[in-house]
């Protein structure tokens, strides 16, 4: 999503709300504002806008600047009251507010019960700093009623427990920051910046040492995740990557079985997804398929918002398995069926990056059956109102594929108009992308001239993760049907 400025932050906040959150806000606002106020009208006006239009708002709302500030705060307040999508940490902080209110009203026994409940949650979810805060709060609340003879022992006990929690947090932070150091080094290399002198920031002894099984599961997981990033950066042997991915999956499964909450379930789901990707990259399709089926077992009896991520992940990975096995017709039927199923969960935000790949494969599957018209219609997904949720590179890839489909259908006028439109909307194309678009932009260029131009300037251009231009040119140069070329990809 584009970076928010002060003028459009309210618009972006409203657009980020789920239908449930919007509905709750309207009920909340009706209880907290008078009928004459414009806040709900402003909310509705912004919600209906596809693109932020401040002049249109100023013509309708006399005190727009003030009303925007008030509406922004009111939405945040309604989100604080609503408990949709709460993390454990947020739930604990809500309870802390209640604890302080109970203390203020003199109901200390009830406050201690609520602190104890929050302590159990914090310890169960390895929230070390929060646990330390709660231990300190509990001591301060109970101190007046603690017998004088026990106070010194109580102080020592609580102090030791708090210090232990801070020590656990320091250990976890060290591993956590090692992961971020590796990511920063990777990004520096990608941008051709010198990294040699900064590698000393890596604690290789800790990273490559044995994971301490006596540490909390969360710390063990962070250690393994940091090691996973290190393996990817150093490009170690595939066997080590697979072994580590399986260890992470087993540890996440153990954490989920212990807590059975939504956060640990998402960690487990993502660990399975990471393992499947590692197996895919090493052509272990049959083993990857076994783990794909495990994803579906997570779907029943969970909250709808999480079920959507589970089903989206399953659709993406199952579709990839069928693609790699050459089951293109079956994969297209499966994709259409799952997209209909996911549509019933629309009131929750889609996992857009994952849906993007599902839709890209759907386009290729339609091409593999020779149905270019359907492929063009599917590509409209990338050009619709939700396109702001996709990266510029993803949108451009769809534009390029759209040009190829129009070329295949012989719609040369449509193709050249679309190409010229792309040139206007993407002024910062790199050299190969620019040459690619220019090949299609000339209205009177013959098909063979387009092919010759692309062969000369753009042969190895990557259109997106699953498709290179060389595959399309292969079918043109060797007179192989494009559908056959697409069918053969990744088989």
**Residue 136's pLDDT is what?**
95
* Judgement on whether residues 74 and 179 belong to the same structural domain of the protein: no
Distance CA(156)–CA(458), nearest Å, equals 71
Does residue 126 fall inside a structural domain?
no
CATH code at 479? Answer: 1.25.40
d(CA 386, CA 352): 9
At 347 the pLDDT is 45
Confidence bin at 388 (pLDDT 50/70/90)? low
Q: Give me the number of domains the chain comprises.
A: 3
Identify whether 435 is part of a domain: yes
Same domain, 63 and 181: no
The model's pLDDT over 437-471, given as tens digits with 9 standing for 90+, comes to 888 887 666 888 888 888 888 877 777 666 777 77
The pTM is what?
A: 0.73
End residue of a domain, out of 17, 48, 81: 81
Domain match, 367 and 472 both? yes
Whole-number pLDDT of residue 200: 77
The better pLDDT of the pair 16, 387 is held by 16
Task: Please state, rounded to an integer, the average pLDDT across all residues of the chain.
Answer: 83
- Is 424 part of any domain? yes
Range of weakest confidence among 77-86, 314-323, 353-362: 77-86
Same domain, 59 and 168: no
Q: What is the pLDDT of residues 13-30, one digit of tens each?
A: 888 887 878 888 888 888
User: Does residue 167 share a domain with residue 74?
Assistant: no
Dihedral of alpha carbons 191, 271, 490, 333, sign: negative
Q: What is the pLDDT of residues 149-184, one digit of tens each?
A: 898 999 999 999 999 999 999 988 988 888 888 888
How far apart are the C-alpha atoms of 242 and 383, rounded to whole Å? 38
The reply to whether 76 and 199 lie within a common domain is no
Pick from 51-55, 197-201, 290-294: least confident: 197-201
Rg of the chain over Cα atoms, rounded to whole angstroms, equals 28
Q: Is 287 among the domain residues?
A: no
261 within a domain of the structure (yes/no):
no
Clarify whether residues 382 and 480 are in a common domain: yes
Domain finish residue from 236, 254, 275: 236
Number of alpha carbons in the 13 Å side-chain half-sphere of residue 211: 20
Token pair for 446: 């013959």
Domain boundary among the residues 56, 81, 106 is at: 81
- 395 Cβ neighbours under 8 A, 6+ residues apart: 382, 383, 387
Q: Model confidence over 247-290: pLDDT tens digits? A: 999 999 998 888 777 778 888 988 999 999 999 888 899 999 99
Segment 190-209 shows an average pLDDT of 76
Residue 77 sits in which domain range?
A: 9-81
Residue 302 lies in a domain: no
φ, ψ dihedrals at 192, nearest 5°: 55, 40
């Amino acid at each position: 999503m584009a970076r928010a400025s002060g003028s459009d932050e309210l618009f972006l906040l409203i657009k980020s709300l789920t239908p449930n959150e919007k509905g709750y806000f309207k009920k909340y606002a009706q209880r907290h504002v008078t009928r004459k106020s414009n806040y709900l009208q402003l909310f509705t006006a912004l919600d209906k806008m596809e693109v932020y239009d401040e002049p249109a708002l100023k013509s309708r709302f006399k005190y727009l600047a003030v009303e925007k500030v008030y509406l922004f705060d009111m939405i945040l307040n309604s989100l604080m009251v609503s408990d949709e999508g709460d993390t454990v940490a947020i739930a604990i902080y809500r309870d802390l507010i209640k604890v302080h209110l109970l203390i203020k009203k003199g109901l200390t026994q009830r406050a201690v019960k609520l602190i104890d409940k929050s302590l159990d949650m914090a310890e169960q979810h390895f929230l070390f700093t929060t646990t330390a805060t709660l231990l300190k709060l509990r001591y301060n609340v109970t101190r007046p009623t603690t017998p004088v003879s026990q106070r010194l022992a109580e102080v020592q006990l609580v102090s030791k427990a708090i210090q232990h929690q801070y020590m656990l947090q320091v250990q976890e932070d060290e591993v956590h920051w090692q992961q971020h150091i590796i990511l920063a080094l990777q990004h520096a290399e990608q941008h051709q910046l010198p990294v040699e002198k900064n590698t000393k920031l890596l604690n290789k002894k800790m990273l490559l040492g044995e994971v301490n099984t006596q540490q909390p599961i969360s710390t063990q997981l962070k250690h393994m995740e940091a090691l996973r990033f290190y393996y990817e950066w150093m490009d170690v042997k595939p066997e080590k990557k697979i072994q580590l991915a399986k260890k992470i999956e087993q540890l996440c499964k153990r954490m989920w079985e212990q807590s059975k909450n939504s956060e640990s379930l998402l960690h487990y789901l993502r660990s399975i997804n990471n393992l499947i990707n590692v197996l895919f990259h090493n052509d272990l399709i049959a083993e990857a398929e076994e783990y794909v089926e495990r994803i579906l077992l997570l779907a029943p009896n969970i909250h709808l918002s999480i079920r959507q991520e589970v089903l989206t992940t399953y659709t993406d990975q199952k579709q990839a398995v069928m693609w790699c096995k050459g089951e293109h017709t079956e994969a297209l039927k499966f994709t259409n069926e799952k997209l209909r199923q996911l549509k019933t969960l629309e009131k929750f935000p889609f996992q857009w990056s994952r849906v993007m790949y599902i839709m890209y494969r759907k386009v290729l599957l339609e091409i593999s059956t020779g149905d270019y018209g359907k492929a063009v219609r599917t590509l409209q997904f990338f050009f619709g109102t939700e396109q702001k949720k996709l990266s510029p590179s993803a949108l451009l890839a769809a534009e390029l594929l759209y040009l190829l489909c129009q070329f295949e259908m012989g719609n040369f006028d449509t193709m050249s108009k679309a190409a010229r439109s792309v040139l206007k909307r993407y002024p910062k194309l790199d050299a190969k992308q620019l040459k690619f678009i220019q090949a299609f932009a000339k209205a009177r260029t013959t098909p063979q001239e387009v092919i010759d131009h692309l062969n000369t300037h753009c042969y190895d251009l990557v259109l997106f993760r699953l498709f290179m231009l060389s595959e399309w040119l292969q079918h043109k140069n060797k007179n192989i049907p494009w559908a056959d070329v697409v069918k053969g990809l990744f088989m």
